[in-house]
Amino acid sequence: MKEILTPCPHLHRRWRSVLLFLLWSIAPWSHAQTPVFEIEIREHLFFPAELVIPANQKVKLIIYNRDDTPEEFESYELNREKVIVGNSQGVVFIGPLKPGEYPFFGEFNMKTALGKIIAE
Ligand SMILES: [Cu+2]
């Protein structure tokens, strides 16, 4: 049965290597195309509180928590939630987003830690 399903293993191997080559060549390129933005948490505030990013494009957010306490980056509009322990950083990928405003907040300090992503 196996011989009938794969009559020529060499052909399969060739296609597999073509596919692997494509993945290998495309992956670093697409990664390099992803813009990176940084947000800092200091004294339970976000800096910047308003971050402008390009619309219709995937974006990498690096969130640095400079406080000693943990914070949770959360956004209903972005459908993201990420706990970042004190004095560490977290990565959140967002988008591609339609032009507009996307509020986010720090769930552990909801009165102060407020911000928004502006996609344009
Ligand atoms: Cu949460």
Mean pLDDT for each 10-residue chunk of the chain (120 residues)? 59 76 70 88 98 97 98 98 98 97 97 97
The pLDDT assigned to 68 comes to 98
CA angle 73, 79, 83 (to 5 degrees): 25
CA of 26 to the centre of ligand 1 (A): 34
- Cα separation, 83 vs 89, whole angstroms: 9
CA of 114 to the centre of ligand 1 (A): 14
CA of 99 to the centre of ligand 1 (A): 24
CATH number of the 34-119 domain: 2.60.40.420
The pLDDT assigned to 30 comes to 59
- Cα separation, 53 vs 4, whole angstroms: 53
- Cα separation, 67 vs 69, whole angstroms: 5
The pLDDT assigned to 2 comes to 53
The pLDDT assigned to 23 comes to 74
The pLDDT assigned to 22 comes to 76
The pLDDT assigned to 21 comes to 78
> What CA–CA distances, in Å, run from 78 to 6, 87, 103, 116?
45, 24, 8, 10
The pLDDT assigned to 34 comes to 92
CA of 103 to the centre of ligand 1 (A): 14
CB 81 within 8 A of CB 92: no
The pLDDT assigned to 18 comes to 80
In terms of Cβ atoms closer than 10 Å to its own Cβ (0-12, 13-18, 19+), residue 105 is buried
The pLDDT assigned to 119 comes to 98
- Cα separation, 57 vs 108, whole angstroms: 29
Q: For ligand 1, a single-atom ion, which residues have Cβ within 5 Å?
A: 72, 74, 81, 107
Label residues 68-98 b or e (16+ Cβ within 10 Å = b).
Answer: eebbbbbbeebebeeebeeeeebebebbebe
